Structure 1
Amino acid sequence: MRDDKLLTRISALLRQAEGTDNPHEAETFMQAAQRLATSASIDLAVARDHDPAAKQRTTPLSRQIAIGEAGKRGLKTYVQLFAAIARANDVTVDVAGNSTYVLAYGFESDIDACEALYTSLVVQMVAASDAYLRSGAYKTEEFSRVVTRGTGFRARRVIETKPLSPITARLNFQSAFAERIGKRLSEAREQARAEALGADPEGRHEPSSTALALRNKEIEVSDYYRSESRARGTWRPSSASAGYSEAARQAGDRAGRRAKLGPDRELGGPRGALER
């Protein structure tokens, strides 16, 4: 069930993050938004554990979320960003074979939070990588990739180094951006969980009610995913043949550290599919 008051409070924090030029303040507001989303998710889990009727009304669901049009370069990095956000919000994802959409499995409020964060951050990721390419900084760099030379018993895999191309620079930049965002949100999530668990009465020898509720929620989402998912195989964000650039990754990581959440990217707003 959607909690409009909660969405309004989180949206206000996101606007504060966007409204400051101080990167430390932006970080504080962004993490506060994630902690609030996590705390609300914990409260819901605890309430459901104590109210059988609420548990029947509020159950996991799945939602298809558009990522981009077929054939667009870099869709895997968009999926990587969404998956990183999902991990911080108790949501499991399946990925379409061509990376044009994901299926998100979890509770409605958690999926709402994922969409809100993704809708803002994917635009920032692409804008930051565009700026990096326009700067021309990548032109003096090289990238490495694993290639196979020879055939049959003479085939061998070697590391090949070449000048960094724009598409390889973009893919490395956006992949590192997604990783950094995932770390930032996970840190905020763990802080909120620690605070919630620490607020339970001390001196117990058995697990706290909050810990049990979180475990029950995890099992419920996992069971739902196993019963509903038709995915085969394991999705991987990149491959060795795509090429690796440390310089582009460092630039993407820095952009991920600076990323803020925009005032027009409110929870429950339009989904984040990018046009070609």
Structure 2
Amino acid sequence: MPGPGTPGASGAVDRAFAAALYADPEADGGRGLDTGASLLAADPAADAELRRRGERFLRRAWERGWQPADVVRLVRRDLDETHVRLVAELIATEAVRYARVAPRWHAQLADIAADLEADRKAGTAPRSADRFSYATTALELYRLLLGLPAIEAVGPVPGTPVHLPAADGEPRMLTRIRALLAKAEGTDFPEEAEALSAKAQELMARHSIDEALLADRAHRGDVPGACRIGVDAPYETAKAILLDAVASANRCRSVWSSAFGFSTVVGFEPDLEVVELLHTSLLVQGTAAMTRAEAAQRASGRKRTKTFRQSFLMAYAHRIGERLAAAAEQVTADAAGAETAGTDTGGRALTAGGGGRLLPVLAAREVAVADRAERMFPETVRTRVRGVTDGEGWAHGTAAADRARVTGSGRT
């Protein structure tokens, strides 16, 4: 009997792949998947080789620009939880070979490992009932992985040299921002959420401006980076518009890839961090407000739930965009005025020669971000937004955006 990794085991996997992955599914009426699963189910010695092939498919995905969270998100959208569990296990195993990965990769791998551990402890991990079912799951997953196209890279491929930041922990400002947004998401009082979000946005703007000036004075030569943020159904158009509004207000560019369920955000690292934080918080706040408004509508006899939600979230995204843009302009103007007066955004005295640098520095960073985004996505198109047909949903969404006020005066 051949053992793992022997020619016999490899041959069984090759035959299964030839039937299930590389044959034309229309030509054989879809029977290739059953044939491949039967071959694997009949040969337990092929299991280890089958998993190794899965890890190779993942490595190919990384080399084509994909990251762990992207793959898990796509598998969850297009397949089911047994496939999600299998790809998570393969990712965790494949990642062991890398001594160093970029910070966002590290965070994604940590999230995947935490989900696997939580499922293990709770005993809720989905499992295939038999060998044939497991082989079918693996082949369906591998077929998806095999078909992943090349996409724009947003970080180094694992195994390549990575510059890791000093292990000083998260900046204190970001810790404060996280805490404020968590409180804003958790409160049932709109006025409290408004005040907390306003303070968080003020701190975000100060953090971004201070980082830009520090990089300029230190001649660090920072360049724009990029990250991906999931945009999940339903109502993904409204969610993508909300993310674009948050990105624009924080001097970033957002490009939505609807086919893959994510947007790519381009910007300088401090700005990318606050975009991720603020978008997540506003989406949580908006969804909670929508649920409350919808419940009130149903109580009065209304039944058009889908159109109400669609219009609500579109209005919410539109209004949030207006308010964020106004907030960004105000905070920047206040910071420029403070700099002219010889202080930074926190009221501290600037060093000699620092005055008057803020606006040119910010302008240069915006040009750099635009250039990076255009090089990454030279063929982007704008799409007309449709589907806003519910006046009450629009009115409630606009009101919710006003309650989730994120404009900061720039003053403490």
TM-score, normalising length from structure 1? Answer: 0.72
In the alignment, structure 1 residue 51 sits paired with structure 2 residue 179: no
Distance change in 2, residues 1:224/1:48 (3 Å): same
Of 76-85 and 127-136, more deviation after overlay is shown by 127-136
Say whether 1:256 aligns with 2:256. no
Tell me if 1:174 matches 2:335: no
Match of 2:244 in 1: 83
Partner letter of residue 179 of structure 1? H
**Residue 131 of structure 1 aligns with which residue?**
292
2:411 is the counterpart of 1:244: no
Q: Is the 8 A contact 2:184 2:196 kept in 1?
A: yes
Tell me by how many angstroms 1:260 deviates.
7.8
Identity across matched positions, percent: 31
Q: Match of 2:367?
A: 219
* Cα separation, 2, equivalents of 1:222 and 1:100: 23
Q: Higher relative CO (CA 8 A, sep ≥ 6), structure 1 or 2?
A: 1
Change (3 A) 1:66 1:245: same
Q: How far apart in 2 are the matches of 1:187 and 1:219?
A: 20
Give 1:109's aligned residue. Answer: 270
Aligned-pair CA distance for 1:22:
5.5
What is the match of residue 36 of structure 2? none
| CA shift in 2, pair 1:232/1:21, >3 Å | closer
CA–CA distance in structure 2, aligned partners of residues 99 and 90 of structure 1: 24
Is 1:94 equivalent to 2:249 in the alignment?
no
Helix, strand or coil for the counterpart of 2:323? Answer: helix
> Which stretch has the larger CA shift, 104-113 or 121-130?
121-130
Aligned to 2:327, which of 188, 193, 209?
188
Unaligned runs of 5+ in 1: 142-163, 262-276
Give the Cα–Cα distance (whole angstroms) in 1 for the partners of residues 377 and 187 of structure 2.
41
SS at match of 1:200: helix
Q: Which structure is higher in strand share?
A: 1
Residue 208, structure 1, aligned to residue 344, structure 2: no
**DSSP 3-state at the match of 1:234:** coil
Q: Does 1:233 align with 2:381?
A: yes
Instruction: Tell me whether 1-10 or 28-37 shows the greater mean CA deviation.
Output: 1-10
**What 5-or-longer segments of structure 2 have no aligned partner?**
1-164, 343-354, 407-412
SS of match in other structure, 1:84: helix
Tell me what 1:8 maps to: 175
Q: Describe the SS at the equivalent of 1:62.
A: strand
Indicate the RMSD between aligned Cα atoms, in angstroms. 2.9
TM-score of the aligned structures, taking structure 2 as reference length: 0.50
Shift of 1:244: 2.2
Give the distance between the partners of 1:83 and 1:99, measured in 2 at CA. Answer: 17
Greater Cα radius of gyration, structure 1 or 2: 2
Are 1:64 and 2:228 counterparts? yes
